[in-house]
Amino acid sequence: MVFPARIALALLLLAVPAGAQELSQDKLPDKPEPQGNFFTRPFHDKQITLLAVANAGGAVMDDVSSRLVIERGGYERNPLIRPFVHNSGTLAAESVGEVWLMAFLADRMKRSRHPLLRKTWWLPQTLNISAKVSGGIYNSVLLTQ
């Protein structure tokens, strides 16, 4: 870098107010007001809706692959889901309820008064997405054998 460019850079850095360089890590935005009713409120937030769509896609992948494995003589290993897998309607209702519950939980966490919950609002949906996708991949591997 040539000498005049170094002087210009130094002047530019020194001309910035010192208060503009302070960063506060502990400040979070105020708790926003909820929109919509009890059932639609989580889906007014675009980030929660995006994760809910990914969650629904993972649930469909897991449900379809589970039904195909069961039709070929397999069984559901999860004892909480086992009563629902023998009927496609109850399995779909359980999946829709689970997707909505995760979106509702994320919405409540995002609007919480506790900073830790506001920082980790995405965690329940992300864990559910990873569980559903890994279950779908596992079932798909079973189908190819």
Question: 22 in a domain, yes or no?
Answer: no
* Number of domains making up the chain: 1
Question: 113 in a domain, yes or no?
Answer: yes
Mean pLDDT to the nearest integer, 54-78:
91
Q: Are 32 and 112 in contact (CB under 8 A)?
A: no
Question: 77 in a domain, yes or no?
Answer: yes
Residue 121: give the domain boundaries: 41-144
In angstroms, the CA 134 to CA 77 distance is 14
Question: 96 in a domain, yes or no?
Answer: yes
Integer angstrom CA distances of residue 54 from 10, 15, 133: 48, 47, 10
Question: 6 in a domain, yes or no?
Answer: no
Check residue 97 and give its pLDDT.
93
Checking if the pLDDT of 18 tops 90, the result is no
Chain-wide mean pLDDT for the chain? 83
Mean pLDDT to the nearest integer, 70-98:
88
Check residue 22 and give its pLDDT.
55
> Which residue type is seen at 46?
K
In angstroms, the CA 140 to CA 34 distance is 40
Question: 97 in a domain, yes or no?
Answer: yes
| pTM for the model | 0.70
Confidence band for 68, pLDDT divided at 50, 70 and 90? very high
